[in-house]
Structure 1
Amino acid sequence: MRDFRDVKAMAQTLRDTLTTKAVTISHSESLELVSRMLGVADWNTLSALLHAERRDTATPLTRLNTATAFYPAVPLRDLVPFPHAIYPMFVGRQSSVEALNQAFEGGREVVLAIQREAAVDDPRFSDVYEIGVLAQLLELEPLGDGTFRVLTRGLRRVALRGFAAEATAYRAEVADVSEAAARDARDLIRRIYQRFQDYTAAHGILVPDIWLFFDQMRDPGQIADTVATRMKLPIRDKYELLATLDPMKRLERIEALLDLPQRPVSANYTATKRRALDYADRRRHQYATLEHLLLALIDDADASIVMLACDADLDKLRQSLVQYLDNELKHIVTEAGSAVPTPAFERVDQRAVLHAQEVGNPAVTGTDALVALFPEMRSPAARMLADQGVSRLRVDKAIVRNAAKDKA
């Protein structure tokens, strides 16, 4: 037995086997059964034993304070928050909604816990990473589809000592963590400043305020968090940055990640992302959503060819998107400021980079973004694509056909 993933694989095999025999059990029940099969009282005990054997060196348990406190908690599937940053989130799980309601009735503080696996619908303590972020709730607004838009500001890192759904809401027991004393990092910060300019240009990242941060901040840890927030990285890599408590080591990790070979972003896709933000700004929308992005992809030279190959009616798709943006997003109209991408927008953008790397594309294009949009199944953008008969399977086939034509 190597780690908790082996136990989860056994639990999934058990569930699948019982399903063939017309016996249905939940994910948590299968974990409890496997734990007992291995001679351990319950899953929480087994998980603790396994985690004790596989603690990441990036998680500095020796720095934990002994005092703990309880807070309402929200598990995040595919977002790693950092202190000092403001995050718009869209919450749908009932236990998360109840936790947010409790937080607003109390001190407006909530623990943001990062899930190890996004597919887990009912996470337990073993399903979240050890380090999370205590955040302040700024806004909570119900949406028409039953979900909530919540605006949070990261306050500080915390270590999770417990996490569970108590009654109807998630709740976490946490301890404060102490970061190592900051040392003089001016030379390292200067190198990261230069590398990050190249990184943002290659990835088409719009960060008009980042240079102001570098000029005004002298805290290496805060500079590291500011850069990490904007980097396009897999969840595991971002979490390792969050869990690195020594500011100098965090900056060194960032420098190494910035030095890794990166896929450049094509000029067409860079223009497409700017166009999506422009669509949001014209409507005075506070956020740029996937629907803004999909509307921009209709005029993207690479993505539009693929959608046409899937027999999509782009005029009808455009009409549906414009109607949605003009009529269904009035709740995010603001009087001032520029639109910022939602976490879903940023997830798609990040997955587009990873897709380009996986398939060997020389640059990230609108086609990669189109492929990256399909996992956002609950979004109106994905539903509108489905209405046009555009599926991931058909897109993949269209990409292969177009590639064969280009080689012919």
Structure 2
Amino acid sequence: MRDFRDAKAMAQTLRESLTIKAVTISHSESLELVSRMFGVADWNTLSALLQAERRDTAAPIAQLKATTAFYPAVPLRDLVPFPNATYPMFVGREGSVQALNQAFEGGREIVIAIQRDAGVDDPRFADVYEIGIVVQLLELELLGDGTFRVLTRGLRRVALRSFATEAGAYRAEAADVSEPAVRDARDLIRNIYQRFQDYTAAHGILVPDIWLFFDQTRDPGQIADIVATRMKLPIRDKYELLATLDPMKRLERIEALLDLPQRPVSPTYAATNRRALGHADRHRHQYATLEHLLLALIDDADASAVMRACDADLGKLRQSLTQYLDNELKHIVSEAGSAVPTPAFERVDQRAVLHAQEVGNPAVTGVNALVALFPETRSPAARMLAEQGVSRFRVDKAIVRQAGKDKG
């Protein structure tokens, strides 16, 4: 029986067979079709596997295991989870909810598939990337807006062979991938350790646990994943780290990303981030949400000036946020440790960096974070801004007016 190493021969056979039936496809189209037959999303990925087979078998890039398994699945629009990390996910799509129900009735494991385009509401196999991750479900909680908060822990990478809706639930067929043995990486790990300290300081990232983790493990793959989890990167860049199956190459890619010119976080916005986490800690909240961040932005000199320029009543906004934090987030009260940012909080942080780059700011400020908050349309924070008449359009106008005054 043929396997993926015969892909090119199969593609040629497929073209010839279709030609007999008066169906003409290009060589590249036949390669893409054969890739899908093997459960790989595109020819580039399958080609990489073919090249890996030709290399020295003592140091393969990765191996797809022959056996597959079916799992309930959840597609994620704008979060890339990694193994060895705990994540809160917020789920609302019916297919995802049904998949969670199935998983909690079974082994509490699901496959996370990362969407190629966040705008697709009902993804199919072509709409998700080929490498996903199996996660363990730890907690499930129904929120007031009808969505679910799910606490998960990443377990291992998998290659998706299929992804579809069955009986109203998302479901995926996946094969485990085994990573190769790694040569000594102490020098590279030491270099990343030093550079990541500078990176976290520049971005205002609080990671009190990671330095202890570096001291306790020397596994290159685990270290790469833990660092990747905390880096502020676009979804595509994070996915590429997830899909880099060779631990050494993953570390080298992280090193390159740490070397890229970064927009530092202004001291004012770094203090705002700390203040947001402080609001969560004082409420004993397990997570720091966008509402904690918006409350902190009220006291951010840059962001508050723009909100006032939009005629916002910051006193009323503060009152609304305080009431929300006091009364609506009792379900995330916890006595265990410091609050961690939600995925939405992290998305806003990431978009703030991108906005600072777009507008040419030398550093990320509270204004960039305010702009980055508007795409989170389902959040109470965005709703409260709208109630005060603070829109993206008005914020952009205020920024332009302020820039004109500064030049004058």
Aligned length: 370
330 and 51 in structure 1: CA distance in 2 versus 1, 3 angstrom threshold:
closer
Q: Which residue of 1 aligns with 2:108?
A: 108
Read off the aligned partner of 1:230 and give its amino acid letter: R
Shift of 1:293: 0.2
Measure, in 2, the Cα distance between the counterparts of 1:363 and 1:168.
Answer: 46
Query: Is residue 35–residue 43 contact of structure 2 (8 Å, CA) maintained in 1?
Result: no
Partners of 1:59 and 1:243 within 8 A in 2: no
Given the superposition, is the C-alpha separation of residues 88 and 163 from structure 1 closer, same or farther in structure 2, using an over 3 Å criterion?
same
| Closer/same/farther in 2, CA of residues 336 and 55 from structure 1, 3 Å limit | closer
Asked if 2 retains the 8 angstrom alpha-carbon contact of 1:72 and 1:170, the reply is yes
Which residue is 1:300 aligned to?
300
For residues 253-280 of structure 1, what are the alpha-carbon distances to aligned partners after superposition, in whole Å with 9 as ceiling and x for unaligned?
0000000011110000000000000000
State the Cα distance separating 1:56 from its structure 2 match.
Answer: 7.7
In the alignment, residue 210 of structure 2 is paired with which amino acid?
I
* Residue number in structure 1 paired with 2:36: 48
Kept after mapping to 1: 8 A contact 2:41/2:130: no
> What secondary structure is seen at the aligned counterpart in 2 of 1:164?
strand
For residue 80 of structure 1, what is the aligned residue in structure 2? 80
Query: 2:261, 2:334 → 1: CA distance?
Result: 39
Q: How far 1:335 moved relative to its partner?
A: 1.6
Aligned residue in 1 for 2:319: 319
Contact 2:131 2:243 in 1 (8 A): yes
TM-score w.r.t. the length of structure 1 is 0.87
Conserved? CA contact 2:41–2:129, under 8 Å: no
1:389–1:59 Cα change, 3 Å: farther
- The structure-2 alpha-carbon separation of the partners of 1:286 and 1:58, relative to structure 1 and needing over 3 Å to count, comes to farther
Match of residue 270 from structure 1: 270
Distance 1:226 1:296 in 2: 28
Asked if the contact 1:269/1:366 (under 8 Å) is kept, the reply is: yes
Q: Offset at 1:167?
A: 1.3
Contact 2:351 2:369 in 1 (8 A): yes
**Secondary structure at 1:160 match in 2:** strand
- Once the two structures are superposed, residues 202-260 of structure 1 have per-residue CA deviations (whole angstroms, 9 ceiling, x without a partner) of 00000011110110011100000000000011111111111111111110000000000
Match of 1:182 in 2: 182
CA shift at 1:48, angstroms?
A: 3.5
Contact map agreement 1:280 1:287 (CA 8 A) in 2? yes
Q: Which amino acid aligns with 2:328?
A: E
What amino acid does structure 2 have at the position aligned with 1:376? E
Q: Is the 8 A contact 1:58 1:244 kept in 2?
A: no
- For 2:231 and 2:351, the matched residues in 1 are separated by 12
Corresponding residue number in structure 1 for 2:400: 400
Any conservation in 2 of the 1:84–1:222 contact (CA below 8 Å)? yes
For 1:6-25, list aligned pairs within 5 A: none
Overall identity of the aligned pairs, in %: 82
Write out per-residue CA displacement over residues 19-43 of structure 1, whole angstroms, 9 at most, x where no aligned residue: xxxxxxxxxxxxxxxxxx9989xxx
Check whether the contact 1:58–1:240 (CA below 8 A) recurs between aligned residues: no
For structure 2, the residue ranges without an aligned partner over 5 or more in a row are 1-22, 27-31, 54-62
Letter in 1 for 2:45: R
**Match in the other structure for 2:159:** 159
Which stretch has the larger CA shift, 127-136 or 59-68?
59-68
TM-score normalised to the size of structure 2?
0.87
Residue identity opposite 1:65 in structure 2: K
Displacement of 1:64 in angstroms is 1.0
**Alpha-carbon displacement from aligned partner over 1:335-360 (angstroms, at most 9, x marks no partner):** 22110000000000011011111111
Write the letter of the residue equivalent to 1:175. Answer: A
RMSD: 2.1
Partner of 2:123: 123
Structure 1 partner of 2:66: 66
Query: Contact 2:376/2:382 (CA < 8 Å) preserved in 1?
Result: yes
Q: Once the 2 structures are TM-superposed, how far is the Cα of residue 46 of structure 1 from its aligned partner?
A: 9.8
Amino acid at match of 2:298: I
Any unmatched runs of 5+ in structure 1?
1-36
Cα deviations by residue, 1:376-399 (Å, 9 ceiling, x for unpaired): 000000010011111111111110
